[in-house]
Amino acid sequence: MVGANATGKTNLVDLFMLLRKIYVEKDINPFRYWWGYQNAVWDRKEELDISVKFLFDYINGNKTYKVSFETTFTGRGGKFEIVREKLEIDSDFSLELIPGRIRSEYKGDYAKLIPKIMEDFLKEERENLIVSELREDKIVMDHIITPSQSLTLLNLSLTATMTLYHYKNINIALCYLIFPSQSSVAILNPLVKPAEFYNEKFQFPLAHLIIKEISNLISKTLILKLNINEIKRPSQLKREDWLIEDGSNLNSVLYNLYLKRNRIPDKIATLILYLFPNINLGFSVTEDQRVYLKVQEDSLELPPACIADGLYKLLAILTALELKPSLLIIDEVENSLHPETLEKLLDELKSSETTVIITTHSPIVVDMTDPADLVIVEKVAGETKFRRIENPEGVKKKLKEAGITFSEGWLYGQI
């Protein structure tokens, strides 16, 4: 993601930080980091909600499902609240959580199944179920629950009790949504077979598998807004397997990785050796159980204050990759890095199995990036807009014929 200062690149980084505060850290006031809700919501309009929607494909065996997950929340009046969450699968089945109820909706083939099994279902759920819409092409049911600030779709678990009906390769099951600290309620939910299993007993509710994947995406998103001065300070020696956004616990996380095999992980060591051939990395533990990086350059031992900022920056990003996050987000990747180091690092990021989002306003990074991978960030009438380059191969040809670089084309409005 490339754009000028104050166009809104970091807003996307902050969005994922906010989602982690809500769903992973379960912060009762997740907007404190931004000094209040008014600084997080658009145009400081506290009367507005914030809504985030993910669209993706979920592949199970030879079947691909179109999935959307939308969450809407507010912090108006100093009180955080999730206003609404909705999971939709193939536009035929959805779960929606609003305070006091869960709504399940069925369309298409799913809706045609429900009347056939409604009688059995109502016997299970007669006290807390309201059928609010019952048509041939659409059925909506509201499941009454106890409102809870900590209750979200992503911390539910679903267990299937039995297959009730089979129609057009759809298995419908009576599934229980298990609430933290609450009783469970039942919904009708399609079943799927994981690709590795072919025995009928290995069937799982589809919503359960998808909720698990979405939860994993958010919980394993790793965000880096590195502060080199904080990184240089010794870290408390404890079992840590995840980096803090500013990288201040890098020494501890990297030392724990080192202890697993009594050496720096191979991928980190290989790139460090290539870029810094005259140094050796080690660790030292202080008497008060703090750990810090120890660097030997030829015969000279360097204390943390004398270690190059670029080495710390490189180590932090390579360590993040070693942790295998579902999504790695790096704010202003170019800071403290020499162009040669930056080029090797970008190659390493691109060849990894991790999805990586990078923000930058550096022409050097732009020239090292394939146009197809670039997202241009612009501010239009007070709103941040993200756009990809249309026909990237055509753009490359056009710039080459004009004799200008890719970054010059971006800087001077040619792309």
Q: Give the pLDDT confidence score for residue 182 in this predicted structure.
A: 64
End-to-end Cα separation, the chain, in angstroms: 14
* Backbone phi, psi, residue 315, to 5°: -65, -40
List the domain boundaries for the chain.
45-219, 221-329
Is the pLDDT assigned to residue 195 strictly greater than 70?
A: no
Is the pLDDT assigned to residue 123 strictly greater than 70?
A: no
Say how far apart CA 2 and CA 254 lie, in whole Å: 30
Say how far apart CA 164 and CA 173 lie, in whole Å: 5
Say how far apart CA 374 and CA 376 lie, in whole Å: 6
Q: Mean of the pLDDT values across residues 229-257? A: 94
| Element of type H or E holding 405 | none
Residue 218 near residue 20 (C-beta atoms within 8 A): yes
Question: Considering only CA atoms, which of 99, 112, 206 is closest in space to residue 152?
Answer: 99
pLDDT tens digits along 79-115: 999 999 999 999 889 999 998 889 999 998 888 877 7
Greater confidence (411 vs 246) lies with 246
Is the pLDDT assigned to residue 158 strictly greater than 90?
A: no
User: What are the angstrom distances between the C-alpha of 371 and each of 55, 66, 331?
Assistant: 23, 27, 19
Query: Exposed, middle or buried by CB within 10 Å (0-12, 13-18, 19+), for 291?
Result: buried
Say how far apart CA 413 and CA 415 lie, in whole Å: 6
Q: Mean of the pLDDT values across residues 241-262? A: 94
Q: Give the pLDDT confidence score for residue 157 in this predicted structure.
A: 81
Is the pLDDT assigned to residue 169 strictly greater than 80?
A: no
Is the pLDDT assigned to residue 247 strictly greater than 80?
A: yes
Percent of the chain at pLDDT > 70 equals 93
Say how far apart CA 56 and CA 169 lie, in whole Å: 22
Q: Give the pLDDT confidence score for residue 255 in this predicted structure.
A: 94
Number of helical H runs and strand E runs in the chain: 11, 20
Q: Give the pLDDT confidence score for residue 412 in this predicted structure.
A: 74
pLDDT tens digits along 364-376: 998 898 888 999 9
pLDDT tens digits along 19-75: 999 999 999 999 999 999 999 999 899 999 999 999 999 988 788 999 999 999 999
Q: Give the pLDDT confidence score for residue 298 in this predicted structure.
A: 85
Q: Mean of the pLDDT values across residues 283-308? A: 90
Q: Give the pLDDT confidence score for residue 196 in this predicted structure.
A: 55
Q: Give the pLDDT confidence score for residue 202 in this predicted structure.
A: 60
Identify the residue whose tokens are 């380059």: 389
Is the pLDDT assigned to residue 294 strictly greater than 80?
A: yes
pLDDT bracket for residue 147 (50, 70, 90): confident
Q: Give the pLDDT confidence score for residue 60 in this predicted structure.
A: 83
Largest CA distance in the chain: 81
pTM comes to 0.89
What is the average pLDDT score of the chain? 88
pLDDT bracket for residue 269 (50, 70, 90): very high
Q: Mean of the pLDDT values across residues 176-187? A: 74
Q: Mean of the pLDDT values across residues 290-295? A: 92
Q: Mean of the pLDDT values across residues 281-299? A: 90
Q: Give the pLDDT confidence score for residue 109 in this predicted structure.
A: 81
Say how far apart CA 290 and CA 336 lie, in whole Å: 26
Q: Give the pLDDT confidence score for residue 112 in this predicted structure.
A: 81
Q: Give the pLDDT confidence score for residue 199 in this predicted structure.
A: 53
What are the tokens at 95? 């779960």
pLDDT tens digits along 305-362: 889 999 999 999 999 999 999 999 999 999 899 999 999 999 999 999 999 999 998 8
